[in-house]
C-alpha cells in the first residue's frame, strides 16, 4: 500500500484476526515505519552536532523518506509473496498515523536558531481534528456494516502532508520562507477540503443509508 488513505479502508481492530500468518516481511516493514518516528523526533528536539559534518536535519529528512518508502515496500512484499493479511490491513493505517502525527506535533513546538516554530500549531490541530473525525465515521460505518473506502481527496491530503514534512525536515531554517508556507497552507487547505468531502460522504453513505434501512 502507498502512504495514503488507501489504508484507511482497513478493518477495525475488533475484526482483526491474529489466526492468519501475520508475522511476515510485509508486516515487519509496516511496523518499522512506526519505529522510525522516534529517532526523527529526537533529532528535532536535540538538534545535535553529528560526526562527519552530517547535519541533523539531513539525517532526519533521510530517515523520514526511508519511512515513507517502507509503505511502498510493504505493499510490494504483500502482493508479490501473497502476504496480505487482516492484521497488515489494520497495522498499515496505524503505522501511517504513528509516523506522521507525532512528527507534526513535534514540528509545531520546535524552533531552529531561535526562530519561530517549524510548523504552525493551528495546522496540526486541523490535521488532528480531521483524523479524529474520519476515524469516528469509520467506527460508525463498521458497526453498521457499511464500507467507507478512501477517496482521491484523502490520497492527495496524505501526499501533501508527506511533502510538507519532508521539506521542513530537510530545510528547517527555511520553514517560514514564503515558498514553504505556500506548501503548508496548501496542505492545510487540502486537509480541510478532504474533511468536508468525508463529511458529505458519511452523510450520504453511512447516515442516509442507515436511516433508509431503519425506515424499511
CA distance 184 to 111: 16
Can you give the pLDDT at residue 14? 39
What are the structural domains of the chain?
Answer: 5-215 (1.20.120.1760)
Length of the chain, in residues: 216
Q: What is the mean pLDDT of residues 72-79?
A: 58
149-203 residue pLDDT tens:
567 788 899 899 999 999 999 999 999 999 999 999 999 999 999 989 888 887 8
Alpha helix positions (H), the chain: 25-35, 37-46, 56-80, 86-107, 121-143, 152-170, 178-202, 208-215
Average model confidence (pLDDT) for the chain?
A: 80
Q: How far is CA 45 from CA 32, 68, 99, 107, 117, in A?
A: 21, 21, 16, 9, 12
Can you give the pLDDT at residue 57? 97
Can you give the pLDDT at residue 23? 63
- Going by pLDDT thresholds of 50, 70 and 90, the confidence category of residue 80 is low
92-115 residue pLDDT tens:
778 888 999 999 999 999 999 888
Cβ(160)–Cβ(55) below 8 Å: no
Q: Is pTM beyond 0.85 here?
A: no
CA distance 120 to 185: 10
pLDDT higher than threshold 70 for residue 66 = yes
Can you give the pLDDT at residue 215? 46
CA distance 181 to 13: 37
Cβ(30)–Cβ(88) below 8 Å: yes
* C-alpha angle 142-77-99 in degrees, rounded to nearest 5: 60
Amino acid at each position: 500500500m502507498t502512504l495514503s488513505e488507501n489504508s484507511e479502508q482497513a478493518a477495525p481492530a475488533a475484526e482483526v484476526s491474529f489466526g492468519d500468518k501475520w508475522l511476515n516481511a510485509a508486516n515487519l516493514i509496516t511496523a518499522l515505519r512506526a519505529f522510525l518516528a522516534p529517532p526523527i523526533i529526537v533529532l528535532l528536539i536535540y538538534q545535535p552536532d553529528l560526526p562527519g559534518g552530517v547535519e541533523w536535519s539531513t539525517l532526519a529528512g533521510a530517515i523520514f523518506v526511508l519511512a515513507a518508502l517502507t509503505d511502498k515496500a510493504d505493499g510490494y512484499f504483500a502482493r508479490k509473496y501473497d502476504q496480505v493479511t487482516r492484521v497488515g490491513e489494520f497495522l498499515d493505517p496505524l503505522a501511517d498515523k504513528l509516523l506522521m502525527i507525532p512528527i507534526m506535533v513535534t514540528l509545531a513546538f520546535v524552533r531552529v536558531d531561535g526562530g519561530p516554530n517549524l510548523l504552525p500549531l493551528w495546522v496540526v490541530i486541523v490535521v488532528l481534528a480531521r483524523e479524529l473525525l474520519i476515524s469516528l465515521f469509520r467506527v460508525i460505518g463498521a458497526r453498521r456494516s457499511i464500507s467507507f473506502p478512501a477517496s482521491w481527496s484523502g490520497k492527495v491530503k496524505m501526499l501533501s502532508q508527506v511533502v510538507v514534512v519532508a521539506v521542513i525536515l530537510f530545510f528547517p531554517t527555511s520553514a517560514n520562507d514564503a515558498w514553504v508556507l505556500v506548501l503548508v497552507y496548501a496542505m492545510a487547505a487540502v486537509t480541510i477540503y478532504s474533511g468536508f468531502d468525508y463529511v458529505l460522504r458519511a452523510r450520504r453513505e453511512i447516515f442516509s443509508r442507515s436511516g433508509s434501512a431503519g425506515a424499511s
